[in-house]
Structure 1
Amino acid sequence: MRLGITSPIVTRVPGVAGDWEAHAGVEDLVAIAEAADRLGFDHLTCSEHVAVPVDVAAQRGATYWDPLSTLGFLAARTRSIRLVTQVLVLGYHHPLEIAKRYGTLDRVSGGRLVLGVGVGSLAEEFALLGAQFAGRGEIADDALRAVRAAWGRERPSYAGPHFEFSGMVVDPHGLRTDVPVWVGGRTHRSLRRAVELGDGWVPFGLDLDTLSEMLSRAALPDRFDVVLGTGRPIDPLGDPSRTSDRLRRIGEAGASVAGVTIAATSAAHYVEQLETLAALDLQG
């Protein structure tokens, strides 16, 4: 099981983010990204919200750094760690916009992008952006097919129920003609979408027993990633035994990748936690 980082600072969810993150800056983020890269962690993440309603922010948080600019900056400060949009809301973008903007990120990062996508759930944000909320699942499916048809191609073409294009040039574009796609969600439908249209599933807000049961019913393709989070922050320095046990349980539930959230009091402490986590024997 590979270990990736659910990035601090760039997304601050109440009850999960540390108090220090509210005052952290880009150099703190860089120090963490460079350490994760040096230590061999699988990936970093950055999520997407353009604007969150005030009453929703109390639960979901209000801080969401823009994934394109954030991951583009981190691409220049790292060498091998993968860069994951976790998640990009498909309904907020035309498929060719994703293919062009994030294809460029894939190119400048040397092919390190993982395109994490989701259907979205904030009706107010959809309305703000002029995106269609009703039927968004069907629209997202078509958008994802269109993105995959366009990815890494200079003259893409696609014809579907919601999107159609041809005779257009997209340059630059993705370094590859395919990109790993992780689909976010917490329903059986999101898992089916991931199996049918993606390369991995990134569920959230579900306990391990529920996740294990859902995965046991699914026929997963070869090399399909199941990316399970640690839930509450783990503390490798303060409680290495509980940390190892939690990660073993995630692996037993079916994860091929663990997206870890780490307890810390500062960026320097976070780096120390990463160093300890990287050295843990997770098989013992």
Structure 2
Amino acid sequence: MLRHRHLLLSKILPAAVLSTPEAVQTISLRCFAAAPDPGVASFGFKEVAAEEKVGLVGEVFRSVAPSYDIMNDLMSAGLHRLWKDRLVSKLCPFAGMQHLDVAGGTGDIAFRVLEAIRRAETDVQQQSGEPHPSPGVVTVCDINPAMLEEGKKKAIAAKYDLQGLRWQEGNAEALPFQDHSMDGYTIAFGIRNVTHIDKALQEAHRVLRPGGRFLCLEFSQVVLPGLRELYDLYSMNVIPKIGRVVANDEASYQYLVESIRRFPDQDTFAGMVEDAGLQQVEYENLSGGIVAIHSGFKL
């Protein structure tokens, strides 16, 4: 154990500080004693009891559900559409795919995935002369019923293939699906809102079939110095004001931008994805790191 701690600490501390086993023992005890309190969770910049976070986040999304899509367009100047297109292109949906989109109540990702699956199935039919024997299905799972209702309305209005869509209320930390039941798992702008990110990642691993792919699109840490300062000014000062004018809800959008600041950086989150058992983990920064797509496979 002492050797393991020395290797870990040697990556972040000067060698002179670690000159004796006693120094390593003293420093490591301090470091490893500072583990996060599992009974506390972040809610924006505030700390709340872990059991309270689900209800607090639920209230945020009940409030923003009716204006969620238009706010996404306004806040990102439409870029969120390109980010989501990139997520689905990396997923590479295929004929007959069984896919799970978590925290995707309004359907933005699900509709894109379903369209790609149906295109793949059309290609199969044109080549073989026969329809695919098992048409693909996209399941949308969201803890918030108000968000799911918005998604259902959009699906009906846009005349999507309703047979290919399923809607399920459920918690990302305890998914109501069988082990090894999904070919793909996506979560877009949702994982930073769960109480225990590690549990959500473990659930993603559990429900994926061997060979299944995990993809997460989330706000991340801006890597371009000039852009970082501009983005901080914009997100902290402008986005809540847009929320007040458009959605009559400044507080919810204040929470949303604060939650971005509390989310782990790209490398830290990649390590969490690996810790959940997913392999070949990598990430791609988009728009200078404003968002990042993390990818992993269950092998």
After TM superposition, the score normalised by the length of structure 1 is 0.33
Max radius of gyration: which structure? 2
After TM superposition, the score normalised by the length of structure 2 is 0.32
